[in-house]
Chain A
Amino acid sequence: MTLRSFIRHETLLALLLALVLVVLSLQSDKFLTVQNLLNQGRLMTETGLIAIAMTFVIATGGIDLSVGSILGLSAILTGVFWQNVGLPLSVTAVAAIAVGTIAGLVNGIIITRFKVPPLIATLATLALYRGLAEGISQARSVRGYPEWFYVLGQGSVLGVPTQLWILLLAAVTASILLAYTRYGRTVYVIGSNEVTARFSGLSVEGTKLALYTASGFTAAVAAVIFVSRVSTTRSDMGTGIELDAITAVVLGGTSIFGGRGTVLGTVIGLCLIQALKNGLLLAGVKGDGTIMLIGAVLILAILASNLFERSGPR
């Protein structure tokens, strides 16, 4: 039952993506150029990294709303450690990523040790981490980073944007981890039936703890890439990115109730959203019209997949 439905949703989505690419390239001759596509890849890396970790979280039936705030906190710390504390930038980037990872770990502890539902736990830390970012920075931005730092967000390796390599690496690793390892299978079992998972002797708590920690880690890595891409640090960075990531994951066929989903689906969903955003912009549709369309696509995609499957969730 499961494997076939995976393939069906992703095939459907890939066809939709192909259709969108064809239509958009007819609308504007600037769309289907190597330069433009690579540039779009640059823009979707931060959301992409977060969405990949989010795929695992949602596949267990959880959710992580705090990723945007962790991104903001890590971005602020990168700037503050460097400018105010005076540490070398390479050290501060690592320190900021460490703090982001700890923030994810704290989420995991609240969820696994205190049994707080993930939606509530991460809603609380969404406010807390963003509040820390605002409080620490006092809404002051940091700019003027050294030139070498921009290689990460603005440079290229072998003609491809640096961060796109990171996204590719993350996607392949996560794909293998979720589809072919014992850990991946555990994620699905927890998502389909947590009680069964526990009675089967699987480490439910340990798995979840690792997932939320990883989610914090990827958000923090995304933060450093973000700072490097836009050359500045502000405390409102990453606001609302959790919704973009969740949209990509759900559009990619991961069930919001858990037990179902693939990294490949998420990546296709991500590309679809980015293609729509960029293509419509080039075709002269304003950004706000695009946001509306993405919302409609999200609802329709789930509606379609529910109709195809007949047995909808619950």
Chain B
Amino acid sequence: MAVTGVELSSARLQRNRRSGVLKRLMSDYGQEVVVFAAIITLFVVVTMINPRFVSANNLTSIFAGNAYIAVAAIGMSMVIITGNIDVSVGALIGVLATISGTLAVAGYPIWVAWFLPVLVGMAINAVIGVLVAYAKIPSIVVTLGALSILRGGLISVTGGTWISNLPPDFLIAQKRLLGVPVPLIAMVVLTLAAAAWMRYFAFGRSLYALGGNPEAAVASGIPAERRTVAVFIIHGFFAGLATILFATQLQVIQSTVPPNLELTIITAAVIGGASILGGSGTVVGSTLAAILFAAIGSALIFTNVSAYWFRAVIGLLILATVLADMLRRQRST
């Protein structure tokens, strides 16, 4: 695994040496450009079939209704870029949403109901990070265990009941700021901030180094264990923010999250270009991928294709993206 990681990052370096703006754009942001092009193509084709696809209502539901997936995928991308994985994030969002709703209904100040779950998310992920970094348990194993614990805990605490009677002020995801839905603003701001942080700050850069070549990263003075814990805490932070958007978009909070939410989030990160081998990927890509998913789901409805085909389409899409990426890498080496 480590060997391939080194090979891939050296391939990336070689590509970066090539000249030409378009070529550089394609080699640095190849995946992002591909996903963006796919979104544009989809919008053009579906709008020709059914113009109501680009109605304001539908655009709002595409962009705002799925913003929480994009926000959660930001943290997931960072985890994947450092060569780890987290399959427990879906269950975590469910647990945090329940905490948030319970606080809101119990009459705590709204901001407590919003932000206490964020802290809880960071704390839970700190434990996961410590188990991965210091106890040296592979992240897939730790988060698989955490998935069971969180999911079981959620059902046994709530007993499957829904939380209703949420205070109107609590429902931030339904609000607009200057006419723009709040989730959309949150998605764009968080994505750009995280992207800039990962590209221009030493801490952000060190994540790529850790994922690309852990030995070299440690040799150059990066504290690998502490960074790994930090990445999981940051991931918990974004999962917490995603929870705010998720929990406040409806009048009720269900005791379950959409099935396979963690896989949707991982898939968004991966389609967006985060290499599961670690060392590459950007959060702009993962957000674009989350938008693409939402658009495909909506497109099926507007073109009268049964929504039951949604996952088959997503599966084909992931395969096509991954195969294209692999072929591109093989050609450039």
Contacts and interface: CB of A to CB of B under 8 A. Distances in A.
B326 A116 contact: yes
A91 interface: no
A312 B276 contact: no
Contact of B309 (A61, A135, A247): A135
B97 to A, nearest CB: 17
A123 B269 CA distance: 12
Interface of A: 61, 63, 110, 114-117, 119-121, 123-132, 134-135, 137-139, 195, 235, 239, 243, 246-247, 250, 256-257, 286, 288-296, 298-299, 302-303, 306, 312-314
B156 A306 contact: no
Given A131-B313, A288-B151, 10 more contacts: A117-B276, A120-B276, A124-B322, A131-B308, A131-B310, A131-B315, A288-B152, A288-B156, A294-B148, A296-B149
Query: Which of B3, B154, B156, B270 has the most A CB atoms < 10 Å from its CB?
Result: B156
A312 B141 CA distance: 14
B141 A302 contact: yes
Q: Which 9 A-B pairs have the closest CB atoms?
A: A128-B315, A131-B312, A295-B148, A131-B311, A291-B152, A127-B315, A292-B152, A288-B156, A124-B318
Contacts of B154: 288
A126 B306 contact: no
Given A289-B156, A294-B148, A298-B141, A303 B131 contact: yes
B304 to A, nearest CB: 14
B314 A131 contact: yes
B1 interface: yes
By size class, the interface of chain B is: 35 or more
Contacts of B85: 119
A119 B276 CA distance: 8
Nearest to A66: B315
A63 B316 CA distance: 20
Contact of A61 (B1, B155, B314): B1
A243 B308 contact: no
Interface in B84-137: 85, 87, 131, 135-137
B152 A289 contact: yes
B147 interface: yes
A246 B309 CA distance: 28
Contact of A243 (B147, B153, B270): B147
Nearest to B153: A292
B280 interface: no
A289 B154 CA distance: 10
Interface of B: 1, 3, 85, 87, 131, 135-138, 140-142, 144-149, 151-156, 259-260, 263, 266-267, 270, 276-277, 306, 308-316, 318-319, 322-323, 326-327, 330
A126 B155 CA distance: 25
B196 to A, nearest CB: 27
A295 B146 contact: yes
Contacts of A250: 141, 144
A243 B322 CA distance: 23
Contact of B308 (A119, A126, A135): A135
Contacts of B156: 286, 288-289, 292
Given A131-B314, A292-B149, A116 B144 contact: no
A123 B266 contact: yes
A110 B152 contact: no
Nearest to B146: A295
Nearest to B158: A288
12 contacts: A120-B270, A120-B276, A123-B318, A124-B267, A128-B315, A131-B312, A246-B144, A292-B156, A295-B148, A295-B149, A303-B137, A306-B137
B138 to A, nearest CB: 5
A303 B141 CA distance: 10
Contacts of B267: 123-124, 127
Contact of A134 (B3, B145, B309): B309
Contact of B148 (A117, A124, A130, A291): A291
B240 to A, nearest CB: 21
Given A295-B145, A299-B137, A303-B135, A134 B318 contact: no
Given A123-B263, A125-B319, A127-B315, A256 B136 contact: no
Nearest to A297: B145
Contact of A298 (B144, B308, B323): B144
Contacts of A302: 137, 141
A314 B312 CA distance: 36
A82 to B, nearest CB: 20
Contacts of B266: 123
A110 B327 CA distance: 12
Nearest to B319: A124
